[in-house]
A and B are shown apart, each in its own frame.
Chain A
């Protein structure tokens, strides 16, 4: 939903910067972003997202970006604040700061920072659909609508801006225009499940349940793990008098919603404790139970990055990746286990079991042999 805008210097991702302390992170989290230093008007004129990050900021900026990508939003925010302290209003850092506030669900702060970004580099407004999302999340639908319109005037191909505009128009009671905007989003990306779900919702409210069903079914086919998809479909089916189908959809909604509730709880915990291992492990299991392949894989990878030295994490990764039929990731995990836990009999036993289950008896025997050797101390 929120893209990265800018180009780092080659190698900046690897460049180390001093790790941030907890007080630094807490200070950033409790800081009002409108107190961030400001550059002289016009200082950043001519800045382009494609400009490389200045070399003196690259390490710090890169670290903050990595923290963002690892969903460590406190560290990301503190890092970007540090960059902005050295280079007031540096547009890339402002933008990334706004994106971080959005991820932290601090929409008011996000809006303030994105507004500043637009003030500093007004010609880049086309990339700020996230500002519309912030206003929308605050219930300020008219401001959201106006901003999406401004974004689209510059970037007509922004799927997210069309989708956002459709939602804002719908919330403002303009169903026909909402439908037009959602259709524009879907013309750009026909498999946009969220836009399809909203399209179904709007059509349902307009009493066009036949058309709504087509959109709802397509959305559900694209995201069968989404409780909302089933909820919308159940509503439409009931309206069409297809009671048995509606009941089935409703029951699936209830199953998935129960899982979704727990997912939200774990995600809430991780928002502020991004390295908490137990919520991460639970989240992997929940995403798998919901049938969300993409998220299962993403959270599993994040968990591996968070706790690379925990054998139980790798054990779960083997099981998860095998279940997802992600062969390359399975092999990568096997190699990781062989390397990181080379002296652990338990690790080799785990690999033996895995190879056996994967119908690779020779590898299994070799792993079993290695486990025995380690146990015997040879």
Chain B
């Protein structure tokens, strides 16, 4: 009752998130010109939260882009940067040892422990050559791109680490967008129009590029396995978003890919080192009318508490964001409208997103960072705008959502985002990229709260004795007051971004868990009874004697 009262006060008074301009002062990213004459200029960079120096708090990794002038001059783009957390959610540039060289034009990033040394590494996608940075035991990054065997130059967007062949080493999926050739790209006024206005061209009319799967040989080097693992569809999509999940709960990791203007893919892991594309079969490739949408970002969580992972995809303006509820073996059902998430998204163009219990009331909420790709969206008659407000979708026990303001911030052109408890207070905070603007930090106001009636929470991390130290692909299930909540360990999240390798539960008034079941990627389970909460719980998988 008290909790409900508190929540209603917060709902009525002020948005759940507040922008903290002091948390990361003066950090901006660049993505081409403001006129956005080419499709290359509209995605913005990616962002990741992870504890790179293992001091117990989440550090911030930011991918930066470039400018057309730099490209024309043959200069590299702007390098990715790491910012270290002082423990309170304030970030400062990491020392020189963490500095990274730039490639051509940075896009997204994925975090994972590639070499199994217990330190988190980063893969950065580019329009150009991707990069792999190995974490030197918390002392800085080393560029391992060449040694790891990553070659070639494409337009990578999102990437995701997963152990698809269950050999204990993290493999990598890289999502590619399209073939963009500077020499042949249609110039401004090149005959492409949207709502009657001249706009930059693409993706229609351009050539989509196949996504790639890289198998980790176990020694930190990779070999492309897209064809041998059958992750090669008849037709490529314009790939933008990636999400790892075990949708069929068979113990291996599947992969969902959001494609722009082309059907989304669901790569079902066959358990023998190969995948099968089942997006259409499982009802997650199109909207409920069989129309392909322009997928951007992806969020994933068990919204209705049935133990199965549901999917949320952000889409283009004029379309609604899609919410696919898992129906078990029968696949998914697109229920964004009856859940209250469709209508408010129709006039927005969504990018970064996450599902999580942001108000700690035991129900899953969502947020979406919005912003159009066309500056021309501000012209008359478009039914949308270039800058758009971010949205918070507050969930309820019956898996319905009501939309509200995310923060007091004005409408902006937002892009990628990541989520994590940056100040260690127990609630989930958000960091997001404003296109050609600052990297913005949003603090969650749920906590701290007065001790009496403050909602409870739990963060859980798993540790595996294999090279997949952070147990990506594992899961945690909690039981409290006859209800269950489940979450999977992953670092893929949102759009071109990465989240910490841990799970987070909001617990409302529940101060103890009756049971917690940790399931490791090996398939082994560990059960804890009567678990205390309001803490970070790290569970080690016991080594088999």
Contact = CB atoms under 8 A, between A and B. Distances in A.
Nearest to A258: B235
Contact of B380 (A30, A74, A228, A230): A30
A101 B196 CA distance: 13
Contacts of A235: 283
Interface string B372-385: 00000001111100
A139 interface: yes
B290 A231 contact: yes
A205 B281 contact: no
Given A108-B383, A170-B337, A139 B290 contact: no
A244 to B, nearest CB: 13
A70 interface: no
Interface stretch (A16-24, A171-179, A280-288, A349-357): A171-179
B504 to A, nearest CB: 28
Contacts of B289: 228, 231
Contact of B195 (A105, A201, A228, A239): A105
A375 B505 CA distance: 86
Interface in A138-197: 138-142, 170-173, 175
A170 B336 CA distance: 11
Contacts of A32: 380
Given A139-B346, A173-B337, A272 B383 contact: no
A250 B281 CA distance: 8
B343 A140 contact: yes
B196 A29 contact: yes
A108 B320 contact: no
Interface residues of B, number: 35
A109 interface: yes
A335 B318 CA distance: 45
Contacts of B286: 231
B338 A170 contact: yes
A205 B330 CA distance: 12
A108 B381 contact: yes
Interface in A50-94: 74
B290 A227 contact: yes
Interface string B69-96: 0000000000000000000000000000
A138 B347 contact: yes
A171 B400 contact: no
A257 interface: yes
A255 B283 CA distance: 17
B347 A139 contact: yes
B381 A139 contact: no
Contact of B340 (A105, A173, A232): A173
B522 interface: no
Contacts of B344: 139
Interface string B86-126: 00000000000000000000000000000000000000000
12 contacts: A29-B196, A30-B379, A105-B195, A106-B383, A109-B380, A141-B343, A171-B337, A230-B290, A232-B290, A238-B281, A238-B330, A272-B196
Contacts of A170: 337-338
Contacts of B30: none
A261 B339 CA distance: 28
A142 B340 CA distance: 11
Contacts of B405: none
B193 interface: yes
A239 B331 CA distance: 10
A313 interface: no
Interface string B308-341: 0000000000101000000000110101011110
